[in-house]
Amino acid sequence: MLEPPGPLAYLVRDDDEADEIDKLALRGDAIEILDALLAKVRFPACPDLRRLRARAVSGDKLRNYSTGTQSFLFMMGSAGLALLRSGRVIDYVELMYN
């Protein structure tokens, strides 16, 4: 299931409700969001985020994805960020799995 990113503060362990990344996420521009994340985030997904940023072009959107609650209950879940172009996923970063 793909959804607009919404608040991304959990990625940077940032509880500030007026966070710049969260404001960018509401607009949905992939390049702006990824630039802001890469400026703040220091964790193992950074190479994957850099890959997404390198592939992003103007007009691309960033969306959350999740395989759903059932898959996590069966220890087969995955969630992360997907890069969309013209409504199709062109790349993704897996941020959580079990």
What separation in angstroms does the CA of 6 have from each of 47, 63, 65, 77? 22, 9, 12, 20
Question: Whole domain around residue 59: which residue ranges?
Answer: 2-97
- Report the candidate in 83, 74, 81 with the shortest Cα–Cα distance to residue 96: 81
pLDDT recorded at residue 22: 59
- Give me the pLDDT at residue 55, please: 94
pLDDT digits (tens, 9 = 90+) for 8-45: 544 544 555 556 665 666 566 788 888 887 877 766 55
Task: Please tell me the predicted confidence (pLDDT) of residue 46.
Answer: 75
CA 58 to chain centroid, in Å, comes to 16
Number of domains in the chain: 1
User: Residue 12: what pLDDT?
Assistant: 46
**What are 40-83's pLDDT values in tens digits?**
776 655 788 889 999 999 999 888 888 878 888 888 888 888 88
